[in-house]
Amino acid sequence: MKKIWLAGGCFWGVEAYFQQLKGVLATIVGYGQGNVENPSYRQVCSGLTGHTEVCEVTYDESVLSLRGVLEHFFRIIDPTALNRQGPDRGTQYRTGVYFTDEGDRQVMMDYIAAIRSRYREPIVVEVEPLRNFYPAEEYHQDYLGKTPGGYCHVNLNLARPEERKLI
């Protein structure tokens, strides 16, 4: 099992997308990379905490490689949009991939280098060691599962059928 922390705008859609993938064992949404301990959603939305909305993804690397995780992540974000995804604006919606295994950094950097030519604008996705992560309030966990038709900027249909878990 491995973990990666993904910031791709509103964390509800990132979580819902990754929950459907083969090899993903668990997800937790929360706040990361900021300077306030255990912040609330309201504090993060103020833009004053330095946190971004993050989805912690635990995955089985024998089923889904780190490169595969990155391929999926870059499918659902605009990596050239600074501090925004879809209609969401603010530093809490910046994009990033965060790690605790230093060996993952090179895989991440190599992947971004390999796709850079697909974009006219610079890629602004942060690639950093995870500084901190605080789980969000319970009502945010599995929000789209609990709230069918809830707001989501992520196209949840981008995963091909063969990439999805059997339900």
Q: What is the CATH number of the domain that holds 140?
A: 3.30.1060.10
Please confirm, yes or no, whether 10 is among the known catalytic residues. Answer: yes
Instruction: For the chain, give the mean pLDDT.
Output: 96
Predicted local distance difference test score (pLDDT) of residue 130: 98
How many structural domains compose the chain?
1
Mean pLDDT for 82-105 is 96
Rg of the chain over all Cα atoms, to the nearest angstrom? 15
The continuous run of DSSP H or E covering 75 comes out as: helix 66-76
Range of the domain at 155: 2-161
pLDDT exceeding 70 applies to what percent of the chain?
A: 99
Within-domain flag for 167: no
Predicted local distance difference test score (pLDDT) of residue 166: 80
Within-domain flag for 166: no
Choice among 10, 45, 55, 152 that is catalytic: 10
Residue among 56, 65, 75 at smallest CA distance from 4: 56
Within-domain flag for 49: yes
pTM for the complete prediction? 0.96
Within-domain flag for 118: yes
